[in-house]
Amino acid sequence: MSDHNVLEPMLDLYLFETTQLVEQLEQNIICSEKSGGYSSSQIDEIFRVMHSIKGSSAMMMFDNIATLAHSIEDVFYYLREAKPANIDCSQLTDLILAGVDFIKNELEKIRNLNNADGDALLLIDAIKNLLDGLKKSNPNTVDGEPAKGASAKKQQYYISQDKSKGLFNKHFFMATIFFEDHCEMENIRAYTIIPGLQEIAEDISYIPENIMEDDSTAEIIQREGFKLFFATERTHNEIHEYLGKTIFLKKLELAQSDESAPSKQILRPRQILLEDAPVIIPQPVEKCAVEKDVEVVAASNPSMINVNVVKLDKLMDLVGELVISEAMVTQNPELKGLVLDNFTKAARQLEKITSELQDMVMSIRMVPLTTTFHKMHRVVRDMCKKLGKEVQLELIGEATEVDKNIIEHISDPLMHLIRNSLDHGLESGEERIAAGKPAVGKITLEAKNAGNDVVILIKDDGRGLNKSKILERARQKGLLLKPETELTDKEVFSFIFAPGFSTNDQVTEFSGRGVGMDIVSRNINSIGGIVLIESTPGKGTTISLKIPLTLAIVDGMTIGVGNARYTIPITSIKESFRPREKDIIVDSDGNEMIMVRGQCYPILRIHRIFAVKTDVASYTDGIIIMVENESKILCLFADELIGEQQVVVKALPPYIKNIRQVEGLAGCTLLGDGSISLILDIGGLMHRCYA
Amino acid sequence: MKKVLIVDDMVFMRFALKGMLTKNGFEVVGEAENGALGVEKYKECSPDIVTMDITMPVMTGLEALQEIIKYDPRARIVMVSAMGQERFVKEAILYGAKYFIVKPFKEEQVLETINKVAAL
């Protein structure tokens, strides 16, 4: 793996394609299990996928993946050929899924530039045992080598040729051909020589004889060479040159003898000749033609191409800049007051096209949630098995599209929420029946568009959150900032997002969700989304994730501090107001705070943090913007609000990151007038403030 | 420059073969991801050599091989097989495939095979 330039894109492609295949496989398996068995088209599909994974993994020298894939391939090959009746579907599925997990895990290691060093031997053994078991319990069916049926048919080829058209000037030759070491399947390689030789020679016979029927002849050829006897009019040199073209030839011995050469004749095997007429070929035992599955056809649509996301990011970036440049040209101050009819027309056209271009680029980056949603089937299946619950997962609106970058961020939170629903939300079968509900629990995962956001709902019909327990816990943790009676349901439920709210001692007993809800909420917040909870005791819980369509564009509030411009993501702003001097409190360390409706919040002066010169120092001249992050609140002090607008987020250039502390800055953007605005990272600012 | 058509359902494999071939003076005139498209592409761009995977959706390599040979009996088709597919390779040779490559393959092996088949 020394040649990095060659391997990088190969590895990339390998990872991409294999991951895709494995995920597709997982869906396939879970579907099959649900429908109570593997259909022949599904078996065929799984066989093919494993075969492909084996091939490319072996090429990339990930032998553990290749061997594992091979063993699974063997099982499905057997299933396909022998069609055994009594398969333990559940056991098979478990094993194959374990295999899928192993491969996924290894791929992840490779992706992180670690060695794919996982040991699949145990798994492979288990799979082999399963296959052996299957074969034993189905002794009557064909075993793994269905070619037998084919070769049992009438011996092919070889009928004596008409001797009358014998050659006038015959030379007899004996050639011994040695193939390169380790080139495998020597017998078949040897066989490929025959059809061509037949055109220039006759009376062809060879040792070993039954090369096409008996694969063990490969070893003999490897050891002793492939011996050919034939008669031809060609000269020694011509024949030498012809046989010299043999692929993977290591050594060629060519001896010429005249008409009668009895000593060699003894060595000659029984004479066999290739027939002139087309040979009778055994029909392939099975046809692999897959029933045309809609999905397969769609996937192999030749008008689709795969594009590297990095390129799309770059494209998005460029279009963002184009939009800004367009504004800089068409709204250039130097054009003010001029009457430019044609220019205005042209500018309008440009504006129209750039905005269409922007929409198009955005839509290219959009990916349906289908894959992410379907992954949840697996989560549900595994959890149900573990917990002994029966749960049905319903997916709605899985075709809803979101930006590629977003997808990566919501998969884990979704999994988390589903697990929580299953573990804590849904009751056991008996409990459900006792409560007058159907025994099978139900989780609904729904996605829908709402303006510039996508809303994902995770709904269960379980027991709902236990308000009093949450309150009790919140009290212990000192999270209650106002009287319990004044808290709305939403506020109570939102306590479970507090970091460390769940601890081990109450995870199992706790009626609601506990495990790592703070992580869920942090992940969703980090992509500019919010999490909302609704719950009715006894009826169930609905968690909604409201996430933006894209990360590349945010709704921002632009604020001014001195000559500088900053943008705050709208989602973090709670309110903004002009403070009264009497609400400001300064503590003994000089820290400034503000009292709002009886609550005290710290104030951060932006001009102070970023060392910007401004004339606005007094609170009554500027404005306070109250922002929230992870349920902490902070007040930012700025000179003025400039306005709300959508901005294209760009990463800070590395040279700025290198020379300055950039905590508190999420990126930058260009405003319509060409000036740069820094995008504030509220989480980072909090950290600076509270640290 | 010899023209090559690559038929394989894995993008990865096509990419690997294409890299090896174009680097060594072959022109990859077409790629197809299943047998049926392979046959179509063969008729469209009449390549000098075809590399044909065996296990593919919609139409397998063996079926595609027969279709192509029916259309052009002199077609030079090299089967790309995995270990354990000996019987398919045999069938393919009987149907008229010129040669075969075994996965995982190395560049030298591919070139040796393709060069020699091209010279036939």
User: For A21-51, what is each residue's pLDDT tens digit?
Assistant: 888 888 888 888 777 778 888 888 888 888 8
DSSP string, A481-536: -S-GGG--HHHHHHGGGSTT---HHHHTT-SS--TTHHHHHHHHHHTT-EEEEEEE
Q: Tell me what percent of the residues of chain A surpass a pLDDT of 70.
A: 84
Q: What is the structure's pLDDT at A303?
A: 65
B109 and A183 in contact by Cβ < 8 A? yes
Strands B77-82 and B49-53: parallel
Q: How confident is residue A279, by pLDDT bands cut at 50, 70 and 90?
A: very low
> What is the pLDDT at residue A152?
37
Separation between Cα atoms, residue A622 and residue A605, nearest integer Å: 10
Quick one: pLDDT at residue A443? 92
R_g (Cα) of chain B, nearest Å: 12
Cα A308 to Cα A9, A13, A305, distances in angstroms: 10, 10, 10
What tokens does A197 get?
Answer: 């030789």
Residue of B86, B103, B119 lying closest to A55 (CB–CB)? B103
Looking at residue A163, the DSSP 8-state letter turns out to be G
Chain B residue whose CA is closest to A274: B94
According to the model, what pLDDT value does residue A691 have?
63
On whether the CB atoms of residues A679 and A569 are closer than 8 A, the answer is yes
Contact by Cβ (8 Å): A496, A512: yes
**How open is the CA angle A461-A462-A467, to the nearest 5 degrees?**
120
CB A160 within 8 A of CB A273: yes
| Listed range (A256-260, A546-550, A664-668, B20-24) with the worst mean pLDDT | A256-260
Q: What is the dihedral of CA A141, A142, A144, A145, to 10 degrees?
A: 170
* Cβ neighbourhood burial of A337 (10 Å; 0-12, 13-18, 19+): exposed
Do A230 and A255 meet the contact criterion of CB atoms below 8 Å apart? no
Give the closest residue to B92 by CA, choosing from A185, A200, A182, A220: A185
Mean pLDDT of chain B: 88
pLDDT confidence of A259, banded at 50, 70, 90? Answer: low
> A99, A126 in Cβ contact below 8 A?
no
Closest chain A C-alpha to B53 CA, distance in angstroms: 10
A674: its two tokens = 């060409």
- Has residue A297 got a pLDDT over 80? no
Tell me how far apart the terminal alpha carbons of chain A are, to the nearest angstrom.
46
* Residue of A145, A284, A296 lying closest to B91 (CB–CB): A284
B99 touches chain A (CB under 8 A): yes
Give the tens place of pLDDT for each residue, A49-89: 888 888 888 888 888 888 888 888 888 888 888 877 777 77
Out of A61, A147, A246, name the one closest to residue B87 (CB): A147
* pLDDT (tens digit per residue) in A529-576: 888 888 888 888 999 998 887 777 777 899 999 989 999 988 889 999
First and final C-alpha spacing in chain B: 15
User: 636-675 in A: which are within 8 Å (CB) of B?
Assistant: none
Question: In which band, very low, low, confident or very high, does the pLDDT at A217 lie, cut at 50, 70 and 90?
Answer: confident
What region does A39 belong to: left with phi over 0, alpha with psi -120 to 50, or beta? Answer: beta
Among A132-136, A584-588, A594-598, the range scoring the smallest mean pLDDT is: A132-136
Distance of CA A56 to the CA centre of its chain: 17
Q: Are B102 and B112 within 8 A, CB to CB?
A: no
Residue A263: enclosing H or E segment and its boundaries? Answer: helix A262-267
What confidence score (pLDDT) does residue A651 get? 75
* pLDDT tens digits for range A332-360: 878 888 888 899 899 899 989 988 898 88
ipTM for the predicted complex: 0.77
Distance (Å, whole) CA A650 – CA A661: 17
- Taking 80 as the threshold, does the pLDDT of residue A294 lie above it? no
Contact A393, A429 (CB under 8 A): no
Structure tokens at B70: 């029916």
| CB-nearest partner of A288 from B16, B60, B83 | B60
Q: Give the CA angle between residues A340, A343, A348 to the nearest 5°.
A: 125
Contacts of A248 in chain B (CB under 8 A): 109, 112-113
Three-state SS at A370? helix
From chain B, pick out residues whose CB is under 8 angstroms from the CB of A9: 15
Residue B56: closest C-alpha in chain A:
A48
